[in-house]
Structure 1
Amino acid sequence: MAKLYFRYGAMGSSKSAQALITKFNYEEKGMRVWLLKPSVDTRNGADIVKSRIGLEQKADVVTPEMDLFEIFRQREREFYDVIIADEAQFFLPVQIEQLRDIVDAYNVPVLCFGLRTDFRTKMFPGSKRLLELADSITELKTVCACGSKAIVNARLDQEGNVVTDGEQVFLGGNESYRAMCYKCWKKAQERKKEE
């Protein structure tokens, strides 16, 4: 029985690497993989999923107006054995529902990788819907500089200070974000206020 999977973690927890390794494992067994990524994620090229350790693959780009269930239905002759979605937090809730419908209607597993919360510790709409609908939820862990488990995707300004204002979606890598534990994130905010 196929399932909808959500594998989430803070930045630097190897989500994209895990997505690409999973793709490789399925393909090594002769299975067809539909690799997806949201159109908002253009950091490494519009149609490239790339991990920080250098793994990369071409992916189909999902725009907000796309109906993933309908596209899958139209491509049924090609039939995918599995769907892997990177940066799934950026999909619309309705697109998460469409992926859920593919699992149920076609018995095809869907593995979604992404962030749970933004830099303010607020849930992304796509992640919220995944947490509501996924059959299996797994946290991919990483650590804060203090050694504790990181759960916050702290956004940094040009000087490396933690910021808590701005748009929810701001693309960036190590220069713009740092995975932190909640305690260190709160301390960084307090230091900023004292300046």
Structure 2
Amino acid sequence: MTAADEPTIAPAHCQSAGDGRLRHGAALKFFWGPMDCGKSTLALQMDHNHGRQGRRGLVLTRNDRSMGPQVTTRIGLAHSAVEVTDDLDLIALVRKEWGDGARIDYLICDEACFYTVEQIEQLADLVDGYDVDVYAFGLASDFRSFLFPAAQRLFELADEVNRLQVEVLCWCGREGLLNARIVDGVVAREGEQVVIGDTAAADQSEVRYQVLCRRHYRSGDLGR
């Protein structure tokens, strides 16, 4: 047998990560659900759990309800985060951390539905080429009940897709499925895809959001 005939031995670790970690087969996981189902809470819990086991990650978000570079939850939890903008290259972000001597084992990507499609592709590249685990959290559909482009791409690319099991109810008691935008007390059917608001706003607010079942989303009935 010549040298050319000898089998190729795969490297024991992922050299692209630059730190000698054993390649374990990173994964891209997408956790989704309607508003109020606890996506941001789970994101922070997952970051906490991984950190306790000695892993190091980055927390990212976009259009958090606080309008700041942090992940906040309605139950009072908060964590500083990298604000994702349209021009942020997520691969370059991770490589810069490595260049500065930091280890990045995973990314927590909150509000991933608001990322660009190109950034979702970058997340997949980080998993496949750089052995970085990615945990993405976000809505599936917008106020018109259409999929966000980034969410659609996550459905298409993710190794694992999980709908959060925390039950969200419509005012009628049925399961809440759709995120309605309420403008001057009426369910909006047209407008920009992303308008920041919250579900905790008073009914008299100019723009707010409310989770409805399909029946009442389609009829526009907001209850009392």
Give the alignment's TM-score, normalised by structure 1.
0.90
Asked whether the 8 Å contact 2:216–2:222 carries over to 1, the reply is no
Indicate the residue corresponding to 2:18 in structure 1. none
Letter in 2 for 1:132: E
The equivalent position to 1:65 in structure 2, one of 87, 102, 114, is 87
Output the CA distance in 1 between the equivalents of 2:130 and 2:175: 37
Shift of 1:189: 6.1
Contact 1:163 1:189 in 2 (8 A): no
Moved more, 124-133 or 140-149: 140-149
List structure 1 segments (4+ residues) > 4 angstroms apart after TM superposition: none
Larger radius of gyration: 2
Higher mean displacement: 62-71 or 48-57: 62-71
By relative contact order (CA 8 Å, sep 6+), the higher-ranking structure is: 1
Deviations 1:16-67 (A, max 9, x none): 11111111111122221210012xx153142111011111000011111111
Matched, 1:166 2:191: yes
The unaligned stretches of length 5 or more in structure 1 are none
TM-score, normalization: structure 2?
Answer: 0.79
Match of residue 23, structure 1, among 42, 47, 66: 47
Q: 1:153 corresponds to which residue?
A: 179
Task: Give the alignment of 1:32-111 within 5 angstroms.
Answer: 32-38=56-62, 41=63, 43-76=65-98, 77-111=101-135
Measure the CA separation in 1 of the matches of 2:73 and 2:87. 26
CA contact 2:64–2:72 (8 Å) conserved in 1: no
Give the superposed CA RMSD: 1.7
Give ranges in structure 2 of 5+ residues lacking alignment. Answer: 1-24, 202-207
Letter in 2 for 1:129: R
Q: Cα deviations across residues 93-134 of structure 1 (Å, max 9, x unaligned)? A: 010000110011122210000000000001111111111110
Identity %: 38
